[in-house]
Structure 1
Amino acid sequence: MKNMVELEMVNDYCKGLGLSASHPLVTVVDLSKADWKPRKGTRSVRYHFYGIFLKQGQQCIMRYGRQNYDFQDGTLVFVGPGQIVNIEHIETDYQPTGFALLFHPDLLLGTQLGKVIDSHSFFSYELHEALHISERERQIVLDCFSKIEFELQQGMDRHSRKLVTSNIELFLNYCHRFYDRQFFTREHKNQGVVGKFEKLLNGYFNSDKPREIGLPTVAYFAGELHLSPNYFGDLIKKETGKSAKDLIQDKLIETAKARTFDTDKSVSEIAFDLGFKYPQHFSRLFKKNVGYTPNEYRMLN
């Protein structure tokens, strides 16, 4: 891709700011110390490591996916390996402030954090789904960063890797708590998302989309609502207690049960109308959830 900057290691990010990483695989960056040299136009950056940015100021616009995000005081943004961020509208006198925690996947090999890193779904949220934190929460973030930086400055010994990754995991667990608080404080807005999802789900099976597109997915509804699949899934789970995937399947089975009463259509036709490519897959799922095959359920009723 034209103008794509590949950040392979954490020091690649640091060098662009005139800084150096504390360790080849992990570092905490004080962005106020950066020797920033802004470039004209839009720049695309692909990260090959994890990055958490505590950003301040509104002089820089970053775009990931469909929407722009203007950084504000007390905002945490998460970037995972493979994600592309577009940076634009940077003033020539721009001086970044805030902090960044960067760590490479290789740091996590064989560690407890490595086993659970995929559960931290916010690394695949879009930028406009960033975490907005209070002043008290911001101090907790800075304390976590300070502990990680302290370990890196001591010189690596046999305890260092475990202590560093444990402190990163502690910080990420705090982020889960902060996101739960953000979901709660935006409950009214979230309920609007749930309502729209239910309306879209009902409309999907009352249209030709199942035959044209296939079985509905979490990613499809997230896209319709302009949310990342993980953020959408986490929001739905917080608001309803059930996963978006389970709610989709519940609606699918409910619709399938109702359509078995239409004796003018065969089970195969019903399967195709619902988006299944193969009728046997439909029959297997139906029996797993209802306890009877579609034909048996039709006969019972």
Structure 2
Amino acid sequence: MHTLTTRPPIPIYPLERDEMTGGSSFSIVRSAGELPYEPDVLLPHRKAYYMLVFTKQATGRHWVDAVPYVRQNHALYFSSPSQLLVKEEPTPFWGARIMFTNEFLALQQNAALRHLPLIQNPQNGHELALAPADEAVVDDLLAQLEAEHHRPGEWQHPLLSAYLTVLLTYLSRLYTEQFPGGEPSADQRLLRTYRASIEEHFRERHEVGAYAELLHISAGHLSEVVKAQSGRSAIKHLHERLVLEAKRLLCYTPQSLKEMAFDLGFSDASYFNRFFKRETGVTPAEYRASIRKMYQ
């Protein structure tokens, strides 16, 4: 596992311009065992897009937010723009990748996709096993997507959206089966909205009241619903997100404690140090030393 020692903060890679659609918001790529040349992905990075990787045959190991995954055959791996990714080494795989951006999801015909469980990912999953029947359905939909991807014209984008909607809806059903949760109630939707707001604003908003104001509800109601639905206080959700980002920075960047505190919106490094130790039981320096030793 590589860690950064002299590189700048974690890079974010955009989706490259697609030759078939002419845009940079959606792409589908087949792989038939070629060994990719991807030197940059061997270092910590984020992608500025959602990615679904369907593996018929695969080898190697990669990391998502400091969690290792040994790649399996007949599986789906999915990631979102916020996650921190590392691949240990370039390895061939047989399958396909689908990539799309937030801008793609913002299109009117794709708006409903943003609310699917696979995209929301409330259980923080990354891997789905595909049974033979599921893989057959996925293969058929991938073939339809690929055919439209190679057929430019006025109907290309509507059909790509239609096939992708079916695919992501089908995978969302698998997601709910493999990561049980059920259909969300109004209170569960509020919890998801709160967590999404944290994802967007955690660096500059450190108080529950600030999120209640964003959501146009009282802080007391927000705290009550979040506690009832998740078993954890509203402030705990916020602190967990700050700790996750701090762990990413400690593991993958050479930032000093002062730089990290500023990046995460803390007034000074000593306050950040106390916050991190209170939440994790160790200081940032102790965590950095232990996690890098584990990855070596």
TM-score, normalised via structure 2 length: 0.52
Aligned to 2:148: 151
Structure 1 gaps of 5+ residues are 12-19, 185-213, 216-242, 253-301
Matches within 5 A, 1:162-173: 162-173=158-169
Matches within 5 A, 1:198-237: none
Aligned to 1:26: 26
Aligned to 2:83: 83
Aligned to 1:111: 108
Any idea what SS the aligned residue of 1:31 has? Answer: strand
Report the Cα offset of residue 136 of structure 1: 1.3
For 1:84 and 1:61, how far apart are their aligned partners in 2? 15
Moved more, 174-183 or 35-44: 35-44
1:59 is aligned to 2:59: yes
Q: After superposition, what is the alpha-carbon deviation per residue over 1:164-208, rounded to whole angstroms, capped at 9, x for unaligned?
A: 112111111001111233246xxxxxxxxxxxxxxxxxxxxxxxx
Judging changes above 3 Å, is the alpha-carbon distance between structure 1 residues 65 and 108 closer, same or farther for their aligned structure 2 residues? closer
1:141 is aligned to 2:147: no
Aligned to 2:275: none
Any idea what SS the aligned residue of 1:173 has? Answer: helix
Matches within 5 A, 1:232-251: 245-248=227-230
Is the contact between residue 56 and residue 71 of structure 1 (CA under 8 Å) also seen in structure 2?
A: no
* Among 8, 30, 34, the residue aligned to 2:14: 8
Is the contact between residue 148 and residue 164 of structure 1 (CA under 8 Å) also seen in structure 2?
A: yes
Aligned to 1:37: 37
| Bigger radius of gyration among the two | 1
Report the Cα offset of residue 251 of structure 1: 10
Report the Cα offset of residue 42 of structure 1: 3.8
Judging changes above 3 Å, is the alpha-carbon distance between structure 1 residues 111 and 72 closer, same or farther for their aligned structure 2 residues? same
Any idea what SS the aligned residue of 2:82 has? Answer: coil
For 1:107 and 1:247, how far apart are their aligned partners in 2? 31
% identical aligned pairs: 15
Report the Cα offset of residue 247 of structure 1: 3.6
| Structure with larger RCO (C-alpha < 8 A, sep 6+) | 2
Residue 106 of structure 1 aligns with an amino acid whose one-letter code is E
Judging changes above 3 Å, is the alpha-carbon distance between structure 1 residues 118 and 155 closer, same or farther for their aligned structure 2 residues? closer
Report the Cα offset of residue 27 of structure 1: 1.9
Is the contact between residue 113 and residue 168 of structure 2 (CA under 8 Å) also seen in structure 1?
A: no
1:131 is aligned to 2:113: no
Judging changes above 3 Å, is the alpha-carbon distance between structure 1 residues 111 and 244 closer, same or farther for their aligned structure 2 residues? same
Is the contact between residue 27 and residue 149 of structure 1 (CA under 8 Å) also seen in structure 2?
A: no
Q: After superposition, what is the alpha-carbon deviation per residue over 1:134-157, rounded to whole angstroms, capped at 9, x for unaligned?
A: 011011111111111111211131
Report the Cα offset of residue 116 of structure 1: 2.3
Aligned to 1:120: 116
TM-score, normalised via structure 1 length: 0.52
Aligned to 2:198: none
Aligned to 2:293: none
Structure 2 gaps of 5+ residues are 181-206, 209-224, 235-296
Is the contact between residue 46 and residue 82 of structure 2 (CA under 8 Å) also seen in structure 1?
A: yes
Is the contact between residue 55 and residue 74 of structure 2 (CA under 8 Å) also seen in structure 1?
A: yes
Aligned to 2:176: 180
Any idea what SS the aligned residue of 1:36 has? Answer: coil
Report the Cα offset of residue 29 of structure 1: 0.8
Report the Cα offset of residue 35 of structure 1: 5.1
Q: When the two structures are aligned, how many residues end up with a matched partner?
A: 185
For 2:126 and 2:15, how far apart are their aligned partners in 1? 25
Residue 134 of structure 2 aligns with an amino acid whose one-letter code is E
Note the aligned Cα RMSD (angstroms).
Answer: 3.6
